[in-house]
Chain A
Amino acid sequence: MTTPTPLLRLDGITKRFPGVLANDSVDFDVQAGEIHALLGENGAGKSTLMKILYGLYNQDEGQVFLAGEPADITRPSDAIQAGLAMIHQHFMLVPTLSVAENVALGLADSGFLVDTSSVADRISELSTQYGLAVDPESNVWQLAVGERQRVEIIKALYRDCRLLILDEPTAVLTPQEVEELFVILRRMADDSRGLIFISHKLDEVLALADRITVLRDGRVVGETKPEATSKEELARMMVGRPVQLTPDKKPSQQGRVRLAIEGLQVEGDRGRRAVNNFSIDVRGGEIVGIAGVSGNGQRELAEALAGLRPVTGGRILLDDTEVTGSTPREVRGAGLAYVPEERMRDGVVGEFTVAENLVLVDHNAEPYCRRGVLRMRNIAERAVTLVERFNVKTPTIDTITRSLSGGNIQKLILARELSAEPTVLVASQPTRGVDIGAAEYIHRRLVEERDRGTAILVISEDLDEILTLADRVAVMFEGRLMAVRDRAAVRVEEIGLLMAGSGA
C-alpha cells in the first residue's frame, strides 16, 4: 500500500532567533482525516513551527508542501488562501464585535458593505451541522470562554479550512468542554480535514491524537502512536529524562486554621462583584486547591488576600489576626507569602538582577539595608544561597531576571517567598507556562512546605495540577464557592460540572 500524498508536509524547517535555534531541521506531516498531535514543553518550538506554517514567521531554511506542492507562505493571508486555519491559545477575537462580525472579518469575498445577515445564516447552518451552539448576534465580550472557542472553530469552518492548527485549545476549558471539543474535532477530521493539535497535556494527546510527534529544544525527538506509548514515555521524550509526574505525598498532618476567609466580597476591575460571599478555612499542613475556569474571581481573590485589592465585605484572618484591608507589607508581616499569577507583572521586576529580585521584600530591613543604604554583600550572599537551595538555573546572580526561563523565574519567586518562612502561602497558577521539569520541582517544593506545617492555598486553572497537589479541592464559579471536597472523594465529572456553574 502506498501512503497517499500528505495534506501538509514540512521539510527541514529551521528557524533561528538571536541566540536561539527555535526549530532545527524539523520534518512533520499531516494526512487528510488525521489528528496529529505536536507535543512539547514550552519553548520546544511548537508555536514557532506553527507560526511559520501560518505565515506569522518566515523560516530560515526548509520548505512547506501543501498537497505535495511547494507552498510559499509569507503572510497569514497566504495561509488562509491555501486553506489553513489556526486557533490560537489566546483567542484571536475582537470582543467589541458580534460573532457574525468576527467571522466576517477578513473574508476574501467581502464587498464594500459587510453582509452580516448572510454571514449569520451560514453560521447558523454550521452550528447545526457540527453541534456548535452559538448566537451570531451576540457580542463576543458577552460570551463565556467555551463559547468563544466555538466562534474560533466556526471561523475556521466558515472558510472551509482543509487544515486546522489548534494551539493549546483546552487550556481554558472545563473537562466537559474538552470532551465536547474532542467530539467536534473528530467530526472535522472525519470530513477529511487535517488537524494539528498542539499540547503539553499528555492525557489529552493520548485520548485524541492519531499520531504524536514530540518536539524538544527545536528538534523532533520522536514520532509515535497513542496505542504504542504511555504517559511516562511521552513525558520522558518531552523532557529528555525520566519524570516523576506526581510528587510523593504523605497524608497531610493538619494543624490549626491558619487562614480563615469569611464572607469575602471583592470588586473586579470594572466595578462588578468578582468575589461573592466567599468563605473557606485553610489549616496548617494542608493544601487547599481552588479550581475554576479563568475569570471567575480567582485573580481578585488572590489579590485581596495579598492586600493588593480592596475588600468590600467580609474578613480575612491570618492566625486569628484580622488582616482585612491591610497593606501588602502588613499582610506579609502577619505571615503570608504570595506567588502571583502574572509573574512578570506582579512577581518580579524584569529588568532587575536575580539578586535584586530575591531581596525585594526585605530590601529595607537589616541586614540588607542600613540607614537607607543597601548592603550589597549581604544581598549577594543571600542570593547565592537561595539560588542554590531552590535550584534556580541562572548564569550569575547579577543576570537580568527577564532573560531567565519562565520556570526559573517562578523558582526564584518561590525562593523569595518561602525564605520568609511563611505560615500561609497563596500560590496562583504556580506552574503556568513552566516546563515540566520546573513544574515537577515546584510541586515537590509545595508539598514539602505543606509538610513543614504551612497552610497553602493553590489557585489554578489547570485541574490536573489541583488534583495532583490538593488535599481538599474547592471550586469557584462567578466569584462564589461552589463546593469543597476532600481529595479522596473527588469525582472529576462533578468538579467539571461545578466549574461550569451547575450541579451545586
Chain B
Amino acid sequence: MSDFFTMASLVFVVGSGIRLATPFLLAALGETIGQRSGVLNLGVEGVMLLGAFGAYYTILETKTPVLGVLVGIGVGLVMGVVYGLVTVSLRAEQGISGIGIFLFGLGMSDLLFQKQVGTPLPIRGFDDWHIPLLSEIPKVGEMFFQHSVLVYLAFVLVPVVAFLINRTTFGLNIRAVGENPAAADSLGVSVARVRYGTIILANLLAGLAGAVLAIELGIFQQNLTSGQGFIAVALVYFGAWRPTGVMAGALLFGLVSATVLQWKTLGIVSGAASSITAMAPAVLTIVALVIITRTVGQPSALTKPFDRGS
C-alpha cells in the first residue's frame, strides 16, 4: 500500500485519470445537450463503438489521425440523424430506441471489424502536446499539461457547452424545449428543429468520444467501450445537467479508474479482489446518483415526445 502514496504514483493517477476521463466527458457533454432539450439517448454506447471503429479503421488505412477523428464525428452525425428520425419525427419511445441504437452499434462495429480487420493491429494516434511553459512545471506539468490534443479539446468544450446552453438563443430554445415544449411551440420555436439539433450534436460528440477512445488506446476490439457510453449517460444525472457538474463526474470517474489501475499494477489488489475493485467507479456513480437525483429535478420533458395535438 505504501507504494501507492508516493509522488510518482500520484502523478500517474492524476495524469491517467484525466486521460481516462476524456471519452466520458465528451460523450456526457453531448448527452447533456440532448437531455436539456428533453431527449434521452441510451444509444451513446453504440454510437461510441461505431465512432471508435470508424476512427480506428480510417487511421489503420490512412495513417492520418485527424481523418480518423473526422470520420468518428461523421459517424456520430449520421447516427444523430437516424436517432432524430426515430424519436422526433416518428415519436418512438426514447429508452427503447436508444437500446436499439446501442445493440446496432455493438453488432455493426464488431461485424465491420471482423470483416475488414480481423486481428487487432495497433494504430498510432496523436503525439502528446506539451504545452509550452506550463508543461515544464514540475509534477503539475506532467499531470495536466502533457496530454494529447484531444484531451485538451474535451476540457475546452466544457465552458463552450455551458455558454451554448446558458447564453445563446439556441441554448434558450434548448432549455425551453426540455422543460415545456408546448410553451416553446406556442412562441413559434420549432421543437422538432431544436431537438434534431441537439440530437445531432449529442451523437456527434458520442462519435468523437468513441474516436478518442480508440485513438488513445491505439486499438479496436469487440465491445471496446465496455459500458462507457452508459456511464456517460449516468454522469449527466450525476452532474445535474450542468457541463461543470458533468466534468466533475467524469474526472471523479477517471481518477477512481486510474486508482484501481494503479492498485493492480502495484499488486495491492489482485485476482477476484481486483475485479471487485474494478466495480468501484460504477458503485460510486450509483451512490452519487441516488443522492443527487433526489435533490435536483431533471428536465421536465425528458423522454417525452412532443405532439402538438395532445
Contact with A along B158-186 (1 / 0, CB 8 A): 00000000011111110110011011111
- Which chain B positions have C-beta within 8 A of A76? 185-188
Given A86-B186, A105-B173, 8 more A-B residue pairs with CB atoms under 8 Å apart are A80-B187, A92-B180, A92-B183, A95-B180, A95-B300, A104-B172, A113-B167, A114-B169
Question: Does the CB pair B188–A114 fall under 8 Å?
Answer: no
| Bound complex: CA A110 to CA B187 (Å) | 13
Question: Does the CB pair A57–B169 fall under 8 Å?
Answer: no
Is B81 positioned at the interface, with any CB of A under 8 Å from its CB? no
Sample (5) of A-B pairs whose CB atoms are under 8 Å apart:
A92-B186, A94-B179, A96-B179, A101-B172, A114-B169
Q: Of A56, A105, A110, A113, which is within 8 A of B183 by CB? A: A105
Is A75 positioned at the interface, with any CB of B under 8 Å from its CB? yes
Number of A-B contacts (CB under 8 A): 71
Question: Does the CB pair B187–A105 fall under 8 Å?
Answer: yes
- Which chain B positions have C-beta within 8 A of A112? 168-170
Is A97 positioned at the interface, with any CB of B under 8 Å from its CB? yes
- Which chain A positions have C-beta within 8 A of B171? 114
| Number of residues from A at the complex interface, CB < 8 A | 29
| Bound complex: CA A105 to CA B186 (Å) | 10
Chain B interface size, as a band, is 20 to 34
Interface SS of chain B = helix
- Which chain A positions have C-beta within 8 A of B176? 94, 97, 105
Is A372 positioned at the interface, with any CB of B under 8 Å from its CB? no
A171-226 contacts to B, CB under 8 A, are none
| Bound complex: CA A389 to CA B158 (Å) | 66
Closest to A270 in B: B297
- Which chain A positions have C-beta within 8 A of B170? 112
- Which chain B positions have C-beta within 8 A of A399? none
| Bound complex: CA A45 to CA B127 (Å) | 68
Closest to B309 in A: A57
Q: Of B169, B172, B188, B300, which is within 8 A of A75 by CB? A: B188
Is B308 positioned at the interface, with any CB of A under 8 Å from its CB? yes
**CB of A60, distance to nearest CB on chain B (Å):** 14
Closest to B297 in A: A96
Question: Does the CB pair A92–B187 fall under 8 Å?
Answer: yes
Is B248 positioned at the interface, with any CB of A under 8 Å from its CB? no
Is B261 positioned at the interface, with any CB of A under 8 Å from its CB? no
- Which chain B positions have C-beta within 8 A of A93? 180, 183
Is A273 positioned at the interface, with any CB of B under 8 Å from its CB? no
- Which chain B positions have C-beta within 8 A of A91? 183
> A76-B188, A80-B187, A88-B186 in contact; A94/B169 too (CB < 8 A)?
no
A96-153 contacts to B, CB under 8 A, are 96-97, 101-102, 104-106, 108, 110-114
